[in-house]
Chains A and B, each alone.
Chain A
């Protein structure tokens, strides 16, 4: 479990690092409209944070269900 956690964190770092490149993206003139203002003001990070918290909450709930069922399984075995 320790090892898998470390591997997972390394994977997450490897995946998230390229996101920084997004900051270097500059909008050109005469291109289709994108949410550039939302990005420049930084409010997009608020949305990302909220989504991350909601997702984390749901996943924690799933993990707790998983563990509760695991406990029941052990109880039923003996």
Chain B
């Protein structure tokens, strides 16, 4: 994450602008029920891709924290998790809106939806857990361990359990998410850049948040000295 270069931020800007423009203008398959709302694919699905990648990054820093406990690694892990949680909540909200106008309800008792909601609650507990410690080292160590378990519990809820039963959601209930009838070559031209763009934006926001937290820590250290 601590790439000193800025090229990937320029890339994020380009890809996001491209996603907004091409996402509305590029041809999409003419499908019943979905109609033009199929374009949500460029905005709803990348939230989950980005969330998964950034939460995996958070686990990576948590493991590194447990090997060499430094406040920096704790901040990196915490801020990554916060960005991941934000993306997950945005993903749930956008999915709910999309469900209302294609499936007819804001929420259905679909394994994919409920799995995602439970996973978000697990991560909500991560934030509650963090805020319940006075001691910084204890907070960092225990939340690093919890973070690893949260990731291990959340990933099957997102990607494995929904495939085992029937589901309306693509990519669940035996429906492959990226079969050729779901995503044609025109849509791939926007979808993959969108995933990369939104993921890079998540890393960018996280990097800025981490640098701010580092600065805050430095200021406190100076005041104590």
Contacts and interface: CB of A to CB of B under 8 A. Distances in A.
**In which size bucket is the chain B interface?**
35 or more
Contact of A12 (B9, B17, B36, B212): B17
A19 B14 contact: no
A32 B218 CA distance: 59
Interface residues of A, number: 38
B189 interface: yes
A52 B26 contact: no
Interface string B193-213: 100000000001100100110
Interface of B: 5-7, 9-11, 13-18, 20-22, 24-27, 30-33, 35-36, 189, 193, 204-205, 208, 211-212, 215, 218-219
Interface of A: 1, 4-5, 7-9, 11-12, 15-16, 18-19, 21-22, 25, 27, 31-35, 44, 47-48, 51-52, 55-56, 59, 62-63, 65-66, 69-70, 72-73, 76
- Ordered nearest first, which 5 A-B pairs have the shortest CB separation? A4-B7, A32-B32, A8-B10, A25-B27, A12-B14
